A = this chain, B = another copy of it.
């Protein structure tokens, strides 16, 4: 295996998967999907469908127990509702927001590094983009965090595995633009924080997803 893609089944990581498959071929790519106790498993289902579309090996890990003490609104164990607000609108707010899951991306990246190295992969694709941090609301999405983790992974694996974040200077509309050019099957992806039959259209990821397609002048194939 050559590349591991940290893969949620959403827009960003599906586009990263498409890039990895284009570069290395589907036989050399593993898609790693982490379940972390989120309120629904609709995104794992989407991740399975997209991975099957590309014919890559998929590994699914359940990390829910690690987060069991967290009261994040994204987690099953929490009674809190998911707020209805865009990430980008939340940008100037101070402090962590209720949908932050403690050091989730740090954990995901470390799990990815362990699995990548055990499988002989030289690179981890990570679909982080520049709007992800939403100001300081998601500290595990900031450039400072990404740089430190990239260094930690490179050093900690004895320079055998490197982190690649191809969208780090792009926004979501840019990601969709690249993905449309690569023919990513966005109709199979899932972004909504809620787990209904259809996306809720009101949570942060729904709002920002819709906008990203609109900016490309196309209709979201998974939208209503």
Query: Which A residues form the contact surface with B (CB < 8 A)?
Result: 61-62, 65-71, 95-96, 101-107, 109-111, 113-119, 136, 139-140, 142, 144-145, 148-149, 151-153, 155-161
Contact = CB atoms under 8 A, between A and B. Distances in A.
Given A158-B96, A158-B139, A106 B153 contact: yes
Given A61-B66, A66-B61, A148-B151, A156 B106 contact: yes
A104 B118 CA distance: 11
Contacts of A140: 155-157
A134 B156 CA distance: 13
Q: How many copies does the complex hold?
A: 2
A65 B61 contact: yes
15 contacts: A62-B65, A67-B118, A101-B114, A102-B116, A103-B110, A103-B114, A103-B156, A106-B156, A107-B113, A107-B114, A109-B110, A139-B157, A139-B159, A149-B152, A152-B152
